[in-house]
Amino acid sequence: MNDQKIYYKRARTFGQVFTESFGYIKQNFKSFYGVLLAFSLPFIIIMVLLLSYVVSSGISANFGRFGATSVLGEMFGVFFIIIILVLLMQAVYVTVINQHIILNEELPPGEKVTLNDIGKTFFSSFWRVLGNCMLLAILSIVFLVIYALVNAAISAAFSTMGVGGILLAAILQFFASLIISPVIGYVFISSLMVVQRDKVGVITALSKVFRYLKGNFWNTWCVAVVAYIISYLSSIVVMIPAIIFFVLQVVSRVKYGGGDFDTEISSTTIIIGSVVFIITIALAMCVYALFFLMCNFQYTSLEEKKEGNSIIEKINQIQ
């Protein structure tokens, strides 16, 4: 059973979503993480180097020397570039993960997706994903605004009941967020998979995701929550070296610098810190890819169950 190739297009039980996600990683470890890091690592390195530049240039100390306007302008320019890089890297990240799953489906058992395979179809998929990511971001903002207005209305309505009403409103909002948030993450990830695989717009993709979600909400919610917990705990583990490095630096500066954080940071510290953070971010991205796999495997499972039932119903009608 363990030697059988894992395909993403098949119906799964709750447990199989997780076991086959880990199984997919096990079968395609070098191929999957190799191409993912090959495309993502350059963005990580550039971002960390830009942040290192901000730290090494002693921006806080330069406020008095060059003036707040000049320093803030420089900071804004650097962080603007970093934000653009994050958006591009996110689109690259999603494109590579989805493309690996899609191409792996077409290969015979034993063959692995290569960097060259991803490269052949990368840009046509990347621009589609990037455009729909931006549209999805706009839809997310609209959703958050509506959600905030609804929460404000609920708080205002319950506030007339006094402290008890305010407390009740807070409890209702907490549980609403607890129920909605995991599924929203699943919907976003799955819709981008549909965008890339079916070559459709994000609105069409969202309608498909919600159609298969109907009648499977709580099962999907449980999958999303468990997947999030696994990814979150794993990311904490891989971030431990960076956390330790940061704490040691803070303790060292307080102990030897008298609490003065404007003192110059040595180039050796910056280099070591940059390497630590590059490795940490790369490992965190590898871990977070599990969440994408689990969400996509859940979506295709619901899709296969629904479409399989539809085919059986049509055959029965013909008979």
Residue 162 DSSP label: -
Q: How confident is the model at residue 107 (pLDDT cuts 50, 70, 90)?
A: confident
115-159 tens-digit pLDDT: 998 988 888 889 989 999 889 889 889 988 998 898 888 888 887
Residue 207 placed within a domain: yes
Range of the domain at 65: 14-304
| C-alpha closest to that of 239 among 279, 289, 269, 288 | 279
At 274 the pLDDT is: 82
Two tokens at 244? 């330790």
Using alpha carbons, list the distances in angstroms from residue 96 to 128, 130, 197. Answer: 13, 12, 12
pTM for the structure as a whole: 0.81
3-state secondary structure of 28: coil
Residue 1 placed within a domain: no
**Number of domain units in the chain:** 1
Residue 310 placed within a domain: no
Residue 191 placed within a domain: yes
38-94 tens-digit pLDDT: 998 898 888 888 877 776 665 544 444 444 455 556 667 777 787 888 888 889 999
199-224 tens-digit pLDDT: 999 999 999 999 999 989 999 999 99
SS3 per-residue string spanning 85-126 = HHHHHHHHHHHHHHHHHHHHHHCCCCCCCCHHHHHHHHHHHH
Residue 314 placed within a domain: no
Residue 6 placed within a domain: no
13-40 tens-digit pLDDT: 999 999 999 999 999 999 999 999 999 8
Residue 7 placed within a domain: no
Residue 279 placed within a domain: yes
At 147 the pLDDT is: 87
Alpha carbon of residue 187 to chain centroid? 12
3-state secondary structure of 215: coil
